[in-house]
Structure 1
Amino acid sequence: MSEAKPTTPVTARPAATVLLLRDGPAGPEIFMVVRHREIEFAAGALVFPGGSVDAADAEIAAALGSGDPLAAFRVAAIREAFEESGLLLARTDSGIALDPTQGAAIAAAHRDALNAGSRGFAALLQAEGLRPDIDALVPFAHWVTPADLSKRFDTHFFLAPAPGGHAATHDGREAVDSIWITPGQALAEAEAGQRTLLFPTRLNLLRLAEAQSLGDAMSLAAGRPVVTVQPVLEVDAEGRKMLRIPVEAGYGGPLFPAGVRAMVPKVRPAG
């Protein structure tokens, strides 16, 4: 697979991704979806719920009165999580979290319309008397697509506990399958050729695999500074194409085999 280089750098589109976690018998499990094979971006890949930040997300964030510069990204992550998993990270105006019955009823009433574009997220929140629970999200990573690619995203990754007891299902539109899976299992299945992982997805799974529990994952993320990663393509002394990222980002090495840049079949730190 190849991609024509733009003559001038394309502006990276603001985007948000959320890693929804729960405790499982073998450690923390993460909700992931399989992208439709005919979709424009990441076709067929196993990904975390996420997507572009839109103007309505920024309006909701502004109405919350939060001074957090990432508030719009947090709102977008919560909206995308609901669209792609049916899990809604929200509280009532009085601060009460949704129980599973309420969550299921809200998903049944609004999710299809939201995914079809006939209803906005702000309208859902207003109709149900809810506020997005932006404080439930912990910043985890920040990735920017390399400047020479024609489709670019400026993506903030967040961790969040999945609402306990709520049912998660893929949307059947952009995603054709979904799974609760440990990071280690997702990586092993990709290594065996059973899954396709994007380069950032793989590295974030590797980092998440350090955690022994949901609480451990949240604590590790809260205590680690987020370092922006914008991979740079290099050619090493042996003529191999490599992607360089900051060591300070915490992914175990500065250089990784480039492979196919959008879809990296195997990623191991090099040198």
Structure 2
Amino acid sequence: MSEARLLPAATVLLLRDGAGGLEVFMVQRHYQIDFAGGALVFPGGKVDARDYAPDLRPRLAPAPALRDDLIPFAIAAIRESFEECGILLARPAGSDALVDAERLTAIEARWREPLAKGSIGILDVVAAEDLTLALDRLTHYSHWVTPGFMPKRFDTHFFLAVAPADQLALHDGGETVDSIWIRPDDAIAEAIAGKRSVIFPTRMNLSVLTRDGDAAGAVARAAGKPPVRVEPWIEDREDGQFLVIGAEAGYDRTAAPISELK
């Protein structure tokens, strides 16, 4: 049996500094979605063919830290954060400031639904609104590839972004049915206690966030350590089957029960 084709995907970890320390925005996927249904995840999704459009290039803020092959993934991360939670990392052309809450309300009312339905691409939005996508607000965080034995496989790049203070993050009510700002260690604790479903890659990326007390520290850590490609494999052990990842990725553990991938 041949392996399933890898689908390019992007995920964004929106960060803020809360009263109790660093918080990350997470959404709960609809239970009827075939991959990670009901799980608590970061906003994200597949890279759309229109995210590669050459005409988008003049609409992108310079981001020297991002490799050229990562640009479509970064565009997808910004698009998905707008579709799934209403956060738009974009600036009015010629401005140094991100779109403010008042302008965002008008943009959202006009464009969020058709963009989420796929009837338009992100270029349609930025061209009509004369915007520049703030790729410079993204920091490449991790790179995970779904194992070859899975029926649906993703080649996913994760990015960090500090959430704009005056934009309200909220789930879309379609693919996602709930949302929460949560401390990374609290999300892990709730997963261990069985209160929430958190799949293995999500839990591993949360574990790295627990090492920093604020958003600036998390971004600085990510910027200083280029991600390692992580593709888990299965090992049969005396106490069952385990997912295993390489130690070079720098996570706090290298194995977990196979159930954590589901």
Q: TM-score range by the shorter chain?
A: over 0.9
Q: Which residue of 2 aligns with 1:40?
A: 34
Q: Under a length normalisation based on structure 2, what TM-score does the superposition of the two structures give?
A: 0.92
Structure 1 Cα separation of the partners of residues 54 and 166 of structure 2: 27
Q: Which residue of 2 aligns with 1:111?
A: 112
User: What letter is aligned with 1:79?
Assistant: R
Percent identical among aligned pairs is: 48
- The runs of 4+ residues in structure 1 deviating greater than 6 Å are none
Q: Which residue of 2 aligns with 1:56?
A: 50
Q: Which residue of 2 aligns with 1:93?
A: 93
Structure 2 Cα separation of the partners of residues 104 and 218 of structure 1: 28
Q: Deviations over 1:128-152 (max 9, x none)?
A: 1012111111011000001121100
1:22-171 to structure 2, matched below 5 A, reads: 22-59=16-53, 63-64=57-58, 68-96=68-96, 97-171=98-172
Structure 2 Cα separation of the partners of residues 99 and 48 of structure 1: 23
Q: Deviations over 1:17-54 (max 9, x none)?
A: 00001110111111110101111221100000000012
Q: Deviations over 1:170-215 (max 9, x none)?
A: 1111001111111011111111211000110001001111110010
Q: Deviations over 1:226-262 (max 9, x none)?
A: 10100010113x25212221111110233x1223253
Q: Is the 8 A contact 2:27 2:178 kept in 1?
A: yes
Q: Does residue 19 of structure 1 match 2:8?
A: no
User: What letter is aligned with 2:37?
Assistant: A
Structure 1 Cα separation of the partners of residues 182 and 55 of structure 2: 31
Q: Which residue of 2 aligns with 1:249?
A: 249
Q: Under a length normalisation based on structure 1, what TM-score does the superposition of the two structures give?
A: 0.89
Q: Paired residues, what number? A: 255
SS in 1 for 2:80: helix
Q: Is the 8 A contact 1:100 1:164 kept in 2?
A: no
Q: Which residue of 1 aligns with 2:194?
A: 193
Q: CA offset at residue 83 of structure 1?
A: 0.4
Structure 2 Cα separation of the partners of residues 80 and 132 of structure 1: 13
User: Relative to 1, partners in 2 of residues 1:219 and 1:61: Cα closer, same or farther, differing over 3 Å?
Assistant: farther
Structure 2 Cα separation of the partners of residues 91 and 157 of structure 1: 22
Listed as ranges, the gaps of 5+ residues in structure 2 are none
User: Relative to 1, partners in 2 of residues 1:30 and 1:146: Cα closer, same or farther, differing over 3 Å?
Assistant: same
Q: CA offset at residue 118 of structure 1?
A: 2.9
Q: Is the 8 A contact 1:104 1:166 kept in 2?
A: no
